[in-house]
Amino acid sequence: MARVVVLGGGFGGVAAATELRDHLRADGEVVLVDRRDRFAMGFAKLWDLAGLRPIAAGTRVLRDLQGRGIRVVQADVTGIDADAHHVETSAGGFDADALVIALGSRPSPRHRRLLDGPGAHDLYDPEALPAIRADLAAITDGRVVVSILGGPFKCPPAPYEAALIVDTLLRDRGVRSDVEVVVTTPQPMALPVAGVDASRYVADHLGDHGVTLRSEHRVEDVDPDRQTIRFAGDHTELGYDLLLGVPADALPQVLADSGLAGASGWLEPDPATLQLGDERTVAVGDCTRIPTATGQLPHAGVFAAAQGRVAARNLLAALTGGDGERFDGHGYCFLELPGERVAFVEGDFYADPPDVTLTPADHAQFRRKQAYERDHLAAWFG
Ligand SMILES: Cc1cc2nc3c(=O)[nH]c(=O)nc-3n(C[C@H](O)[C@H](O)[C@H](O)COP(=O)(O)OP(=O)(O)OC[C@H]3O[C@@H](n4cnc5c(N)ncnc54)[C@H](O)[C@@H]3O)c2cc1C
């Protein structure tokens, strides 16, 4: 009897666990370990901020996976011995025949500290949502800054989506003319991973809404007393009344301690098979760094889920024989604009240069984004 232990119940882990359960022999065991009790869709957070829908509507209880034969253990993963396929957790140790590592990322601790002061929040922290909403409802003049603090960060379009939501909320309250909205990024353009045209598309939309984009602005420090950001290089400063920061992703501590990270400081699985070290260990999603011609594969749920499925197929081939699959770098990102319209950035992210095109925003693609969520939640959780 084969036992596969899946570490992490996010996009990558749930996609892998369900694929494994569907195809592993009935006497095989799939165990999924996560410290959280719920799965949540990342983009639901901005729908909540925009007032479209509460975040809870896109969440599912991980234990519901037990109904389809996956054993769910709510526990902290505290140690990983990949060579021995052994895992330590707060609920005890697990010996496995194969491992899926899908522990995602955590916010950079340094960047979180920069956001400790008054009027500053981690835009990506679901717990910060009520405070962000309250501050946006109270502001009557001054400046809101959405600031990308470093990379890699999750879902490259999301900070721009957030800035446009801020613009809409301020317009709805009739205070937009007295509140400046600025986005800062250390990158040379808005969406380098999607190319020059997509970046110009984003910049044009921000401009149309009166949102200022400051590219090549790397945050060096934040002074909480003066509510001021200091940028590297020429040390320009920018004051804020409300700062919505996007921290860089960092590797979860247990992975940093495991000795599994490569020279980049991230897990570096084979880009096609997702195998890490031996053929019975795979790593997918935000805990990995997969190099591309322009940097790295975006940290995004769509990619994590696609990788999880392919990685599961390769574990099944290693355990029971047969052909595996290859992840070919095809994928897409949604770029949501006001008025329930979504632009679509799609293509071959592994090509050199990436062969990625942007389809301008429309409502049909907004429905495609809704369908992505609905279909995946139904396929995974029933
Ligand atoms: C505001 C926002 C908007 C987004 N919009 C989109 C979008 O439109 N499209 C898109 O594709 N992506 C989007 N994303 C990104 C997407 O949510 C992530 O890229 C995706 O969740 C990564 O999947 P993952 O499986 O690698 O990690 P995760 O989904 O983060 O899952 C990792 C899991 O591991 C668990 N874990 C970690 N460490 C431990 C431990 N030591 N012990 C036990 N459990 C542990 C965590 O609890 C978590 O459940 C968005 C993200 C944000 C924040």
Which residues contact residue 116 at a Cβ distance below 8 angstroms, ignoring those fewer than 6 apart?
Answer: 224
> Please, are residues 60 and 244 in contact by the beta-carbon 8 Å criterion?
no
Quickly tell me which residue has 């047969």 as its tokens.
322
Which residues contact residue 221 at a Cβ distance below 8 angstroms, ignoring those fewer than 6 apart?
Answer: 114, 229, 230
Q: How far is the CA of 128 from the centre of ligand 1 (A)?
A: 16
3-state secondary structure of 332: strand
Tell me whether domains 3-105+251-330 and 107-248 share a fold.
yes
Quickly tell me which residue has 């770098």 as its tokens.
329
Whole-angstrom Cα distance, residue 335 to residue 157? 6
Q: How far is the CA of 297 from the centre of ligand 1 (A)?
A: 15
Would you state the pLDDT for residue 41? 83
What superfamily would CATH give domain 107-248? Answer: FAD/NAD(P)-binding domain (3.50.50.60)
Q: Is 12 in the pocket of ligand 1 (CB under 6 A)?
A: yes
Give, for 16, the enclosing helix (H) or strand (E): helix 11-23
Nearest C-alpha to atom 19 of ligand 1 is from which residue? 300
Q: Is 76 in the pocket of ligand 1 (CB under 6 A)?
A: yes
Would you state the pLDDT for residue 264? 97
Whole-angstrom Cα distance, residue 70 to residue 216? 46
Q: Is 13 in the pocket of ligand 1 (CB under 6 A)?
A: yes
Nearest C-alpha to atom 3 of ligand 1 is from which residue? 43
- As a whole number of Å, the CA-based R_g of the chain is 21
Q: Cβ of 187: how many Cβ atoms within 10 Å? A: 17
From 19, 35, 123, 267, the mutation candidate for ligand 1 (largest count of ligand atoms within 8 A of CB) is 35
Whole-angstrom Cα distance, residue 177 to residue 148? 24
Q: Is 101 in the pocket of ligand 1 (CB under 6 A)?
A: no
Give, for 301, the enclosing helix (H) or strand (E): helix 301-320
From 43, 101, 267, the mutation candidate for ligand 1 (largest count of ligand atoms within 8 A of CB) is 43
Nearest C-alpha to atom 17 of ligand 1 is from which residue? 42
Q: Is 159 in the pocket of ligand 1 (CB under 6 A)?
A: no
Q: Is 36 in the pocket of ligand 1 (CB under 6 A)?
A: yes
Between the two ends of the chain, the Cα-to-Cα distance in Å is 26
Residue 50 tokens read as 């925009």
Whole-angstrom Cα distance, residue 334 to residue 198? 12
What string of DSSP letters covers 222-257? EETTTTEEEESSS--EEE-SEEEEEPPEE--HHHHT
Q: Is 91 in the pocket of ligand 1 (CB under 6 A)?
A: no
Helix-helix angle 11-23:301-320, to 10 degrees: 30
Q: How far is the CA of 175 from the centre of ligand 1 (A)?
A: 34
Q: Cβ of 108: how many Cβ atoms within 10 Å? A: 17
From 52, 74, 127, 154, the mutation candidate for ligand 1 (largest count of ligand atoms within 8 A of CB) is 154
Residue 58 tokens read as 């896109």
Q: How far is the CA of 356 from the centre of ligand 1 (A)?
A: 23
pTM of this structure: 0.97
Whole-angstrom Cα distance, residue 115 to residue 183? 16
| Per-domain residue ranges of the chain | 3-105+251-330, 107-248
Would you state the pLDDT for residue 322? 87
From 286, 302, 365, 375, the mutation candidate for ligand 1 (largest count of ligand atoms within 8 A of CB) is 286
Residue 359 tokens read as 């389809």
Q: Is 153 in the pocket of ligand 1 (CB under 6 A)?
A: no
Would you state the pLDDT for residue 43? 78
From 103, 122, 161, 287, the mutation candidate for ligand 1 (largest count of ligand atoms within 8 A of CB) is 103
Per-block mean pLDDT, blocks of 10 residues, the chain (382 long): 96 98 95 97 86 90 97 98 97 98 98 97 96 97 98 97 98 98 97 92 97 97 98 93 98 97 98 97 98 94 97 97 94 94 95 92 96 95 92
Quickly tell me which residue has 């509140």 as its tokens.
179
Residue 279 tokens read as 């053929």
Nearest C-alpha to atom 27 of ligand 1 is from which residue? 104
What CATH topology corresponds to 3-105+251-330? FAD/NAD(P)-binding domain (3.50.50)
